[in-house]
Structure 1
Amino acid sequence: MDNTPLLSTPSNGRGEGPEGGKHAPTSNPVREFGVESRRLWKLAGPAICTALCQYSLGALTQTFAGLVGEIELAAVSVENSVIAGLAFGVMLGMGSALETLCGQAFGAGKLRMLGVYMQRSWVILLTTACLLVPIYVFSPPILVLIGETAEISAAAGKFALWMIPQLFAYALNFPIQKFLQAQQKVTVMLWISVGVLVFHGVFSWLFILKLGYGLIGAAVMLNLSWWLIVSCQLGYIFITKSDGAWSGFSWLAFADLWGFVKLSLASAVMLCLEFWYLMILIVITGRLPNPLIPVDAISICMNINGWDAMIAIGFNAAISVRVSNELGAGNARRARFSVWVVSITSVSIGVLCSIVVYATRDYFPYLFTTSEAVAKETTKLALLLGITVLLNSLQPVLSGVAVGAGWQSIVAYINIGCYYIVGLPAGIVLGFVFKFGAVGIWSGMIGGICLQTLILIILTSLTNWSKEAEQAESRVRRWGGTAGEQ
């Protein structure tokens, strides 16, 4: 099946490139690297900016809440990081199943299947949202159970009740985003996210501070902003028909749901295990003797790592789209070439970011704290932060490759073994038994990331891409139903 030259141009199943024009093959590796880089940046650039804008919605709300009072700041912070963070991870993970299915269907030229896939994902995620509602309702005792004070738990629990609409916005938003990403319509999402962020900033200031609505105003604006994103994206899809990918609501949305559930659950497990891994670092560090300084220091490092992760998320989305599109089109060697290009690009950026972190280790802590003790502890952790930033430049890319190819179940098992059987116990032993404190905890967990990244490198290197293209064709045919016929 794989007779495509390594440096040939991909097809979308109609003898055209993803952007519709025909391209002549080239035998110049340097030129082709540049061509592929432009394709990747065309996807990754808007995806990075979109992730930053949507990440900033919660950050802005948290900032305004902090100007109201300490308990309001704690309530929003805890709800965002624990309750909404849990829901975000589950919803994003389950929605990521569409990166495989929509991307491969688009590459195969079966456009009308994308709309059916999105509707199936809506059914599954809306059902999951209903199952997650009790976590919001009973969040105060849950937060007390994991160590939060009664006062903060009560305030965060009240805020969580107001934030239930956001949960259902997540359920619609992530399938929509994967639907649009698969068609490389990332610029649309970017402009919507930028517009909503401006709206959110202005009206959050008005409702929370100027009109004095406090936490209720924060909840209303955060819910409204997420639903505005969903509404604008849906409006774009319904009006434009997304070049034929949307042909209206269909009863096929309820067909073969079990196959979708299995892939969605595997995607959720895979992503959540990664998403929560470094969050656990702060929880474990809080169990150290005199934990205030190390917890503050690690929180600063995780804040920087979170912003840097937005770059990785963009490349994750880009390579997932490229791999799924090319496999769906039967271009196995082009999929492999895309993996090489994005890996080299992402690692180069990771090296640069690591150098910046280490070079500014004596200065950046003071952007977040006035405490000399916290600043010194943060400086001491800067080397580990630099290593984490470097690893996180490649690891999400390889995870994106896995999603694009449909390896979610395999990677979920790899993550369990590397993160929670190796990395987490190693961190606990180094931190508590050998008394290395926060440095030991973080070092052990970095070991888990290193092992997982190494295994994914080996898995990707040994992949038979021709076989993956055949499996993509089989998947498109098996789950397409009558919607796949052109």
Structure 2
Amino acid sequence: MVEEGTFVDLVPAPPHRLKPDGDEPPVRSVADAWEVFLAESKKLWAIAVPIGFSVLCLYGINSFTQIYVGHIGNLQLSAVAISLSVINNFAFGFLLGMGSALETLCGQAFGAGKIEMLGIYMQRSWIILIASCVVMLPLYIFAPHVLKLLGIDDAIADTAGRFTVGIIPQIFALAINFPTQKFLQAQSKVLVLAWIGGAALLVHIFLLYLFIYVFGWGLSGAAAAVDISMWLVSFAQVAYVMGWCKDGWTGFSWSAFKEIWAFVRLSLASAVMLCLEIWYMMILVVLTGHLNNAEIAVGSISICMNINGWEGMVFIGINAAISVRVSNELGSGRPRATLHSVINVVATSLVIGLAAMVFILGARDYFPIIFTSDKEMQRAVSNIAGLLGVTMVLNSIQPVISGVAIGGGWQALVAYINLGCYYAFGLPLGCIFGYVFDWGVEGIWAGMLCGVALQTMILLVIVWRTNWKDEAKQAAERVRMWGGQNDSDSTKLQS
């Protein structure tokens, strides 16, 4: 007999094997394990694939911009990489985190049957994120001075500054995009996000070719393509909401301005955990700007981060899927099913990460050609491809565990762990390796990877030691408390 707590117990059971209380029993055979693994994988990927594809397409807008610009010259490649990786990534992470408050609020309203509140929450988030964009405008306008203060080479900083000013319109598009995206995700209307993202990416590639190669607009053309493509996504999502989401969208309402300060506090809290993760790798690009031959250093690391970002966008989809699975199973009072979902997604993600590492190591002499025609830059990228492979393995597990944390409501705990592992341990270690030991780009990156590895191990231990029965009880209590309150009180409770 297999005892509870062993590995084979950590797999979900198919419907015909459910216990009377609705939870899943231990798996008794390899055949059972395989059957329930397929069932759980089907649930996971039905959510993850559309979201992952949508996010991948949106990331592709930045990625293809770097690819096209990289063939103009190394200075332009480094400048666009700095602009997108530092200034724009800072704003992206903050706005995405602020918009993530809707995952809680829209999910609560949808689960309680108050679907009409989803549109109110979305409008409230639009107001807050647009105001946030206005606050961040000086960062874009004075980007050259900011980058020089960070130690970036003057030529790179000045060129990056011109491009950064050109992409100001797209941050306002993100302020509309993120809340609308969360509105649709709460109702599992994820296929439309995939279609819109795919269409926008194709349009963006065409615009890059037209503006850069046909019209000869250079960096200005690349910036214009980014702006147009991002607003295309936002307009398409809003049009779908207003035209086909009549239950959730009942029109513009002054109610969006009620309880707005409580909503601001909730949005800021939701932003902390995500920003600490996104900004960590942004700092890696900044630190390389202090090295000798900064143009090659920044260009090579930005190409690797671009590749890593493609994989990362896939795991954002898995992150969202496991968050939904964990919250659903806990809310249904099924602790063993929750644990089964977690084990399944961690194992699956690890296999994907290992496969990505093998591919990168095998193609280390070939994939740099996609981004640059310069031989020296290609060699620099090939030399650090090993670290890219390790990064892809770690980044296959870490976002998934973060998704588990979101589903379980552990955001504050993970934020503290991120702060300690990333900024108190990994970042100083990277500086020591890179500057004190003079290991350059490899040293900085290796030290920061140690922080990611430590954070991943701590989160894995926490997940393994979690009492999922207690978590299910806490989820049931939250549902009971929230279900008996009006919308205003619910917002106050969460803030």
In the superposition, the TM-score normalised over structure 1's length comes to: 0.84
> Would the aligned equivalents of 2:303 and 2:368 in 1 still touch at CA under 8 Å?
yes
Matched to 2:250, the amino acid is: S
Higher mean displacement: 469-478 or 112-121: 469-478
Query: 1:229 is matched with which residue?
Result: 233
Whether 2:120 is the aligned partner of 1:116: answer: yes
Structure 1 pair 168/303, CA: closer, same or farther in 2 (3 Å)?
closer
Given that 1:71 and 1:152 are in contact with CA atoms closer than 8 Å, whether structure 2 keeps it comes out as yes
Give how far 1:171 is off: 0.8
Question: How far did 1:477 drift?
Answer: 5.3
Q: 2:165 aligns with which of 153, 161, 165?
A: 161
Look up the SS of the partner of 2:133 in the other structure.
Answer: helix
Identify which of 445, 463, 479 aligns with 1:460. 463
CA shift, 1:429, in A, is 2.1
Amino acid at match of 1:442: W
CA shift at 1:232, angstroms? 1.0
**3-state SS, counterpart of residue 252 of structure 2:** coil
Partner of 1:357: 360
Quote the residue 1:13 is aligned against. Answer: none
Q: Does 1:480 align with 2:487?
A: yes
- CA distance in structure 2 between the aligned counterparts of 1:47 and 1:67, rounded to whole angstroms: 31
Letter aligned with residue 234 of structure 2: V
CA distance in 2 between counterparts of 1:72 and 1:369 reads 11
Q: CA deviation digits over 1:98-118, x for unaligned, max 9?
A: 223323443454433332332
Partner letter of residue 311 of structure 1? V
More deviation, 293-302/447-456: 293-302
- Selected match of 1:254 from 254, 257, 279: 257
Answering whether residue 41 of structure 2 is matched by residue 34 of structure 1, we say no
Moved more, 38-47 or 248-257: 248-257
Shift, 1:315, TM fit? 0.8
What CA distance in whole angstroms lies between the structure 1 residues aligned with 2:379 and 2:219? 34
What CA distance in whole angstroms lies between the structure 2 residues aligned with 1:406 and 1:379? 40
Cα distance, 1:54–1:112 mapped onto 2, change above 3 Å: same
Q: Report the counterpart of residue 410 of structure 2 in structure 1.
A: 407
- Per the alignment, residue 418 of structure 1 pairs with 421
Q: Are positions 1:146 and 2:146 aligned together?
A: no
Cα deviation, residue 253, structure 1: 2.5
CA–CA distance in 1 between the matches of 2:112 and 2:334?
A: 10
Contact 2:14 2:39 in 1 (8 A): no
Note the C-alpha offset of 1:431.
Answer: 2.9
- Alignment partner of 2:54 out of 50, 54, 57: 50
Structure-1 separation of matches of 2:459 and 2:60? 31
| Counterpart pick for 1:322 among 322, 325, 339 | 325
Measured at CA, do residues 40 and 32 of structure 1 come closer, stay the same or move farther in structure 2, by a change above 3 Å? Answer: same
Deviation of the 1:90 alpha carbon: 0.8
Matched to 2:487, the amino acid is G
- Paired amino acid for 2:386: L
Partner of 1:12: none
- 1:386 maps to what in 2? 389
Tell me by how many angstroms 1:131 deviates: 0.8
- The amino acid across from 2:137 in the alignment is V
Distance 1:296 1:215 in 2: 16
**Larger CA deviation: 458-467 vs 170-179:** 458-467
d(CA) in 2 for partners of 1:483 and 1:238?
25
Q: Which amino acid aligns with 1:355?
A: V
The one-letter code sitting in structure 2 at the alignment partner of 1:282 is V
Amino acid aligned to 2:456 = T
1:271 is aligned to 2:274:
yes
SS of the residue corresponding to residue 127 of structure 1 reads helix
| Residue number among 175, 185, 188 corresponding to 1:184 in the alignment | 188
Q: In the alignment, which of 449, 455, 458 is matched to residue 452 of structure 2? A: 449
1:338 and 2:344 correspond? no
| Residues 12 and 40, structure 2, Cα contact 8 Å, conserved in 1 | no
The more displaced of 393-402 and 137-146 is 137-146
- Secondary structure, in 3 states, of the residue corresponding to 1:308? helix
> Given the alignment, which residue of 62, 80, 83 partners 1:79?
83
Amino acid at match of 1:36: E
- Which one-letter code corresponds to 1:402 in the other structure? A
| Higher deviation after alignment, 284-293 or 264-273 | 284-293
Tell me if the contact between 1:90 and 1:268 (Cα under 8 Å) persists in the aligned partners: yes
- Quote the residue 1:220 is aligned against: 224
* Contact 1:104/1:324 (<8 A) preserved: no
Residue 344 of structure 1 deviates from its aligned partner by: 1.8
Indicate the SS of the match to 1:246. coil
1:298 and 2:296 are equivalent in the alignment: no
Describe the SS at the equivalent of 1:115.
Answer: helix
Equivalent in the alignment of 2:245: 241
How far off is 1:192 after superposition? Answer: 0.9
CA distance in 1, matches of 2:95, 2:105: 16
Aligned counterparts of 1:376 and 1:64: Cα–Cα separation in 2? 19
- Determine which of 187, 203, 210 is the counterpart of 2:207: 203
Deviation at 1:296, TM superposition (A): 4.7
The number of aligned residues is: 465
Unaligned runs of 5+ in 1: 10-23
Contact 2:242–2:249 (Cα < 8 Å) also in 1 = yes
Q: CA deviation at 1:407?
A: 2.4
Shift of 1:212: 3.8
- Worse-superposed segment, 177-186 or 159-168: 159-168
* Structure 2 Cα separation of the partners of residues 221 and 166 of structure 1: 10
How far 1:422 sits from its partner (Å)? Answer: 0.8
- Cα distance in 2 for residues equivalent to 1:296 and 1:64: 14
> Structure 2 stretches of 5 or more lacking a match?
1-10, 16-21, 26-31
| Amino acid of the structure 2 residue aligned with 1:348 | V
Q: 1:169 Cα deviation (Å)?
A: 0.9
**CA separation in 1, counterparts of 2:253 and 2:484?**
18
Distance 1:161 1:239 in 2: 34
Counterpart of 1:261, as a letter, is V
The correspondence of residues 71-110 of structure 1 with structure 2, limited to 5 A, is: 73=77, 75-110=79-114
Encode CA deviations 1:147-199: one digit per residue, 9 max, x unaligned. Answer: 33444434433333332221111111111111212222111011111112222
1:175 to 179, 193, 196: 179
SS at match of 1:221: helix
Q: Distance in 1 between matches of 2:72 and 2:295?
A: 24
Q: Does 1:313 align with 2:316?
A: yes
Quick check: 462-471 or 182-191, which moved more? 462-471
Whole-angstrom CA distance in 2 between matches of 1:154 and 1:288: 18
Partner SS, residue 245 of structure 2: helix
Do structure 1's residue 469 and structure 2's residue 475 form an aligned pair?
yes
